[in-house]
Amino acid sequence: MKSTYNHILRFISEEKKLLAVLIDPDKMKPEVLSGFMQKLNQSIATHVFVGGSTVANNATEILVAELKKYTQLPVVLFPGDVSQITNHADALLFLSLISGDNPDYLIGKHIKAVSKLRDLDLEVIPTGYLLIENGRQTSVEKVTQTQPLSRENVQYIVDTAKAGELLGMKLIYLEAGSGALQPVPTEIISFVKQELSVPLIVGGGIRTKQQLNAAYDSGADLVVIGTAFEDDEAFFEELLK
């Protein structure tokens, strides 16, 4: 059933905050998956996102099929490439990197994805993806060959996010990049949120409960965390305290 987006809207209308745990198929070792998923299921997570900037062929499909055995939570693709699209997931974030000027990541890869998507029964959620400067170069920057938006130019970030919404994107994602030195500043989250009617996703560099709550308090509807769980699974329990 194609209900992941409606489910997100319903949660938000009930003033609940959402948390996606990001799993990178290249980093997740099969032998730790079961224990990891057990902790995830007992945590405050509401979604599982799967994706990475560079992932070996088929690794995503194999992982997502496995994940579905362990969890009832929606599994959403957050792909770095067309090869990461699989029917085993519940939905796909159809990401357009609107902060950059690389046509491949604005529309090119999307065109290539269509021949695959046509044959799949996957919920496709158009998502405006904005890379925000975090203090060091991230893999999104390297892979996409785009520059992140300056943290100083808040109005430009707000206008870019709003342009995404006006183009019909159903989600806006502010990304500091995986393992970012600094998460997206709360001031930016709050200004962007004030302009948007669609849900706001924030991710990259969030490693503490305080940072998570700061993102929520400033207007993030859904926060994505990957590295902090990869580095230490005790973070699942930490968030329950």
Smallest separation, CB 179 to ligand 1GP (Å): 5
Closest to ligand 1GP by CB, 38 or 211: 211
Beta-carbon contacts of 182 under 8 Å, excluding residues fewer than 6 positions away, are 134, 135, 176, 205
* Interface of this chain with ligand 1GP, residues 84 to 123, rule: CB under 6 A: none
| Residue located via tokens 């159903």 | 170
Q: Does residue number 227 form part of the binding site for ligand 1GP (CB under 6 A)? A: yes
Q: Does residue number 74 form part of the binding site for ligand 1GP (CB under 6 A)? A: no
Q: Which helix (H) or strand (E) holds 124?
A: strand 123-131
Answer for which of 74, 126, 185, 205 binds ligand 1GP (CB under 6 A) is 205
Of 54-62, 87-95, 117-125, 226-234, the window that binds ligand 1GP (rule: CB under 6 A) is 226-234
Smallest separation, CB 192 to ligand 1GP (Å): 15
Closest to ligand 1GP by CB, 100 or 155: 100
Token output for 230: 């990869």
Show the 3-state SS of 66-120.
Answer: HHHHHCCCCEEECCCCHHHCCCCCCEEEEEEECCCCCHHHHHHHHHHHHHHHCCC
Q: Which helix (H) or strand (E) holds 21?
A: strand 18-23
* Interface of this chain with ligand 1GP, residues 14 to 73, rule: CB under 6 A: 22
**How far apart (Å, rounded) are the C-alpha atoms in residues 168 and 39?**
36
Closest to ligand 1GP by CB, 5 or 78: 78
The mark string for 162-181 relative to ligand 1GP (x by CB under 6 A, - otherwise) is -------------x--xxx-
Smallest separation, CB 162 to ligand 1GP (Å): 21
How many residues bind to ligand 1GP according to rule CB under 6 A?
14
Closest to ligand 1GP by CB, 61 or 175: 175
Nearest residue to 212 (alpha-carbon basis) of 31, 34, 46: 46
Q: Does residue number 204 form part of the binding site for ligand 1GP (CB under 6 A)? A: yes
| CA distance from start to end of the chain | 34
Give the SS3 label for residue 145.
coil
For binding to ligand 1GP (CB under 6 A), which residues are involved? 22, 175, 178-180, 203-206, 224-228
